[in-house]
């Protein structure tokens, strides 16, 4: 009788496992539970195994004990109430009539990407927010990457790429930290300083990414000063300190400003904005991305907890339209740092932000202030109180 029962149980498990992506894809409990689509099911009569949540529900509860990981990754998006406490306007626009509404509603191609437009790439560098230690600064990376692309578009992909300083935003933006930020905040901060000071965000070469903010506890962050002052906006160090070459905060430095920003949602608005003016930053559900390797993700998603930059879209003969998205987890991840997600999936279309570049320092603009190696002729007048 026991042998018969074992055979029946094995048969049920085998039937559930047929054509089950979780069963074929994950052999360990840890890998199974790390996948939001899967459940790990135990049965005394047969080996434990991984099943899709749908198939797991169909297994007899009297025989199988199934569990799934209910815990989500740490959200890198602040709730609306917390964002507004920081002064961020929820889904804000810099003008009463957004210039997005004035964009021409032309017939759009079925495939389009700024990373390969007429054989030219207008996409700037891929970034990794997780080194030299973990920092939940996706909100900054998504916005800065999209803006960098738009500057490259404005330059017609000529000249050396301009890569903007994420760390400047972390040090001075006041719209988020390594423990989370907002989709709207980065461009609102940059527009504000662009209007008030005429100087915008500095370049990566004057302020490298440290993956630290004032509240960070990871790695070496507790030893790092990230307060907003001249030396943490743009700096250079002339020589080793014992040789009399201290670091100087710069009062004049390469920077980029914006003239306008806005918030949009929905596939039609996203496509119109991307096609006409360039990549945008958008919120997304990152849980299904954790173990992503390649292909088109079709998960509906649960909630927005991450920010990415969307550079275009494509059309698959089987899966239909999909978005081409740059993440900020490095090029070892996904499709060389990018992923594809089906239209309507992962909440990618819920909330996006865009910005219009204004002035930026570039060789062709003849607007560089020429500083010495040690920065002595460009030193900020007040190193401690300089705040943007």
Q: Which residues are catalytic?
A: 138, 306, 327
Phi/psi region, residue 288 (left: phi>0; alpha: psi -120 to 50; beta: rest), is: alpha
Per the CB < 8 A criterion, the answer to whether 305 and 286 are in contact is yes
123: nearest Cα among 357, 321, 327, 326? 326
Distance CA 364, CA 375 (A): 23
Distance CA 169, CA 184 (A): 13
Task: Kindly write down the DSSP assignment for every residue of 221-284, as one continuous string.
Answer: GGG----SSGGGTSEEE-S-GGGT--EEEBSS--EEEEEEEEEE-SHHHHHHHHHHH--EEEEE
CA-wise closest residue to 85 among 214, 185, 172, 168: 185
At 295, give phi and psi (nearest 5°): 100, -175
- What crossing angle do the helices spanning 185-197 and 138-154 adopt, rounded to 10°? 60
Helix (H, G, I), strand (E, B) or coil at 125: coil
Instruction: Enumerate residues 6+ apart whose C-beta is below 8 A from 225.
Output: 232
Alpha carbons 205 and 1: distance in angstroms, whole number? 74
What are residue 100's phi and psi, to 5 degrees?
-60, -35
Maximum distance among all Cα pairs of the chain, rounded to whole angstroms: 91
d(CA 123, CA 114): 6
């Amino acid at each position: 009788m026991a042998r018969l029962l074992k055979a029946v149980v094995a048969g049920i498990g085998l039937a559930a496992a047929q054509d089950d992506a979780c069963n074929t894809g994950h052999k360990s409990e840890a890998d199974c539970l790390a996948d939001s689509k899967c459940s790990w099911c135990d049965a005394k009569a047969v080996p434990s195994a991984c099943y899709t949540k749908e198939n797991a529900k169909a297994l007899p509860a009297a025989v199988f004990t199934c569990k799934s990981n209910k815990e989500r990754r740490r959200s890198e998006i602040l709730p609306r109430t917390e964002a507004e406490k920081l002064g961020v306007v929820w889904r804000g626009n810099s003008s009463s009539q957004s210039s997005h509404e004035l964009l021409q509603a032309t017939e759009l191609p079925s495939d389009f990407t700024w990373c390969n437009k007429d054989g030219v790439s207008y996409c700037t560098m891929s970034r990794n927010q997780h080194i030299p230690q973990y920092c939940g600064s996706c909100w900054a990376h998504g916005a800065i990457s999209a803006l960098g692309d738009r500057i490259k578009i404005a330059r017609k992909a000529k000249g050396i790429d301009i890569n903007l300083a994420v760390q400047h935003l972390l040090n001075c933006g006041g719209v988020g930290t390594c423990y989370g930020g907002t989709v709207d905040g980065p461009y609102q901060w940059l527009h504000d300083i662009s209007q008030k000071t005429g100087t915008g965000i500095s370049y990566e070469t004057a302020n490298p990414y440290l993956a630290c903010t004032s509240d960070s506890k990871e790695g070496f962050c507790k030893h790092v000063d990230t307060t907003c002052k001249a030396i943490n906006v743009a700096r250079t160090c002339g020589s080793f300190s014992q040789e009399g070459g201290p670091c100087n905060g710069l009062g004049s430095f390469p920077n980029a400003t914006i003239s306008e920003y806005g918030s949009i949602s929905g596939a039609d608005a996203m496509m119109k904005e991307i096609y006409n003016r360039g990549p945008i930053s958008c919120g997304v559900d990152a849980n299904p991305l954790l173990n992503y390797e390649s292909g088109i993700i079709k998960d509906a998603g649960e909630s927005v907890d991450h920010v990415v930059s969307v550079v275009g879209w494509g059309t698959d003969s089987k899966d239909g339209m999909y978005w081409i998205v740059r993440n900020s987890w490095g090029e070892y991840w996904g499709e060389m740092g990018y992923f594809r997600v089906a239209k309507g999936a992962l909440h990618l279309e819920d909330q996006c932000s865009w910005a219009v570049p204004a002035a930026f320092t570039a060789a062709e603009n003849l607007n560089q202030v020429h500083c010495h190696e040690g920065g002595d002729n460009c030193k900020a007048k007040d190193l401690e109180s300089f705040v943007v």
